[in-house]
Structure 1
Amino acid sequence: MKTITDRHTERPQSAASVHHFVMKCGGSTLAALPEVFFEDLRELQQKGMAPVIVHGGGPAISANLEKLGIETEFVNGLRKTTEEVLDVVEMVLAGSINKQIVRRIQSAGGKALGMSGSDGGLIQAKPVAGSAEVGWVGDVTEVESSIINGVLDMGYMPVIAPIGVDASGQRYNINADTAAGAVASYLGVDRMVVVTDVPGIMQGSGRQKKVLSTVTVQQIEDMIATGEIYGGMIPKVRAAISCIHGKVREVVIVDGSEPGVLSRVLTGEIIGTRIVRM
């Protein structure tokens, strides 16, 4: 596993004072976030808290496949990815969504640089187990963290689309949560922030409903089994769990529409739900 490279001394922030964190967000969630969210990102960047963003884009991919008349199906939660589907996945993730996020950050006064995992071999991949059923879907084998550190050193926040590549140049569609967890782990980050459209993991019903501040992976599995976590919340928590990978020991689920949510998480405020490994 690679370690973080030394930072250039000519930057105004010294190596010791720069703190970066990995943020994962769905493409549709990011598109709907208010302007204050991007202003918060800009302020964090100006303070030397360097965000590394990994994004998804499932709904936009589905909409474009439908528009083009290309059939799509899911096998065990993974999109079956033929070469034809992969062309659309890359076009949407590395193209329209990635650039939309970059534009929104820059419109708020931040500095961002968009890339996909195939650029410079940033995210190296191999076929997932059972690839005969799902096609070109990949697992991460390595993250070239020096590329991310180079972008951070130039004063930009990296915005990464989860496309992977292998030594032969074959592209892979990688689950955004898996990619985000791997990026965080290779950067040596132990905590990741998952931005969603919910305030966290809820327990109870009606007026008794409350956000759980801390929950373990096992507790989540138990709550799914008992029906306390149900419906659309199940894929959200499963996605967050899949980010707990390698060195990543906890994931914080937060609602991106909360004012100053990232700053509040990073300064230790109890907000959203912390999912911990143990």
Structure 2
Amino acid sequence: MREIVIKCGGSSLEELPEEFFVDLVHSHEQGVCSPVIVHGGGPLISKLLEQTGVKTEFVNGLRKTTGDVLKVVEMVLSGSVNKQLVNRIQLAGGNAFGLSGADGYFMAAEPAGNSLGFVGEICKVDTEVVRGILSRGQIPVISPVSADPSTGQKYNINGDTAAAAVAEALGAPLSFISDIPGIYRSGGGGWFEHLTVPEAESLLEKKEVTGGMVPKLKAAVEGLKSGVPEVSVINGLDSSALRALLQNTQIPGTRITAGEVTARV
């Protein structure tokens, strides 16, 4: 079965309809695809940080991560959110296996080298771990929290960046599940149905995308340059969107490719 990496955005996690998980499980059981889930959880992290009085700030869509923030990030992502997603897949009849990038250092991380504190980047993905889970008929559900094997230091990894790293390692298409129907055109006028890498880079250079869409589009560009065959952004709240994606039909969202589309991937 073809592998596909599905990144579930934190902004839509709690609102994903039951149909999303039913379609995911059905497509897996029918041999349509082998889904690999990577998730975020930004809004839930912000909520808990506010409740505990820990200050946080964002720079270009990325959360500045102190030691105290990192503790909350891991608690929310590798604990609460990961297990909620595993549970919802299993309630839909599937078999899911939750893990974080720090488990067995299967997603090795290193410091990103910026002013964002304990924010890292993925330097290696052990695909044998992912494919081992898939070979047992299970759906991997991955928290992006990862660690440096040489020091044991854990890092907050942006979920979009982590998903792109997994897709690159697997050579699989990548889909970002959000709560909006794709990437919006600057100044209104709806969203893009298709973008090429040069067009996406132009949007970033001209700052025509903002907030959480910045790391998403950057991850898409880097992934496509490194062998990811196709990236899409779809609205997970649309009950038919995931089905269209997994059945390889016209998606209600934005497709991003290295060049002009000549055929469906």
Distance 1:182 1:134 in 2: 20
Q: Write the distance in 2 (CA, Å) between the matches of 1:23 and 1:138.
A: 21
Q: Specify whether residues 173 and 203 from structure 1 end up closer, same or farther in structure 2 by C-alpha distance, changes over 3 A only.
A: closer
Deviation at 1:257, TM superposition (A): 2.2
Partners of 1:148 and 1:184 in 2: CA distance:
11
The aligned amino acid for 2:125 is V
- Find the aligned partners of 2:53 and 2:231 in 1 and give their Cα distance: 37
Match of 1:219 in 2: 199
Tell me the residue number matched to 1:240.
Answer: 217
1:61 aligns with 2:45: yes
- Aligned equivalent of 2:156: 173
Match for 2:254: what amino acid?
T
Unaligned runs of 5+ in 1: 1-17
Which structure is larger by alpha-carbon Rg, 1 or 2? 1
Deviations 1:169-215 (A, max 9, x none): 110100111100000111121x2111111222344878xx4443211
Aligned to 2:116: 134
TM-score (structure 1 length as normaliser): 0.83
Which residue does 2:4 correspond to in 1? 21
Distance 1:62 1:254 in 2: 24
What's 1:78 paired with? 62
Q: What is the aligned partner in structure 2 of residue 11 from structure 1? A: none
Q: What secondary structure is seen at the aligned counterpart in 1 of 2:239?
A: coil
TM-score, normalised by the number of residues in structure 2: 0.87
Q: Which runs of 4+ in 1 moved over 6 A?
A: 224-227
Equivalent residue letter for 2:112: V
Alignment gaps of 5+ in structure 2: 260-265
Provide, for residues 200-257 of structure 1, a one-character-per-residue CA deviation record: whole Å limited to 9, x for no partner: 2344878xx4443211233245456778x566xx632651331342221421111112
Identity %: 45
Residue 149 (structure 1) aligned with residue 126 (structure 2): no
Indicate which of 231, 246, 249 corresponds to 1:266. Answer: 246
- 1:163 CA drift (Å): 0.8
Corresponding residue for 1:185?
Answer: 168
Deviates more, 1:251-260 or 1:49-58: 251-260
Give the equivalent residue in structure 2 for 1:277.
Answer: 258
**Change over 3 Å in CA distance of 1:224–1:151 after alignment to 2:** closer
CA 1:204 to 1:65, structure 2 compared with 1: closer, same or farther past 3 Å? closer
Aligned position for 2:263 = none
Report the residue type matching 2:129 in the other structure: I
**Secondary structure of residue in 2 paired with 1:28:** coil
Following TM superposition, by how much is the alpha carbon of 1:77 offset from its aligned partner in structure 2, in angstroms? 3.3
8 Å Cα contact 1:143-1:182 kept in structure 2? yes
Are the structure 2 counterparts of residues 164 and 230 from structure 1 closer, same or farther at C-alpha, using a change threshold of 3 Å? closer
Separation in 2 of the partners of 1:236 and 1:74? 13
Residue 100 of structure 2 contacts residue 143 of structure 2 at CA under 8 Å; is this kept in 1? yes
Aligned to 2:237: 257
Q: Which amino acid aligns with 2:213?
A: K
Deviates further, 212-221 or 162-171: 212-221
Cα drift, residue 61 of structure 1: 0.8
Structure 2 counterpart of 1:42 = 25
Matched letter for residue 157 of structure 1: I
Amino acid at match of 2:159: A
1:159–1:210 CA distance, 2 compared to 1 (3 A): same
State the partner residue of 1:163.
Answer: 145
Q: Distance in 1 between matches of 2:190 and 2:116?
A: 38
Q: Does 1:95 align with 2:72?
A: no
Number of residue pairs matched? 253
Pair 1:260–1:165, CA change in 2 (3 A): same
Letter matched to residue 105 of structure 1: I
Paired letter, 1:180? A
Contact 1:200–1:253 (CA under 8 A) maintained in structure 2 = yes
- Are the aligned partners of 2:13 and 2:41 in contact in 1 as well (CA < 8 Å)? no
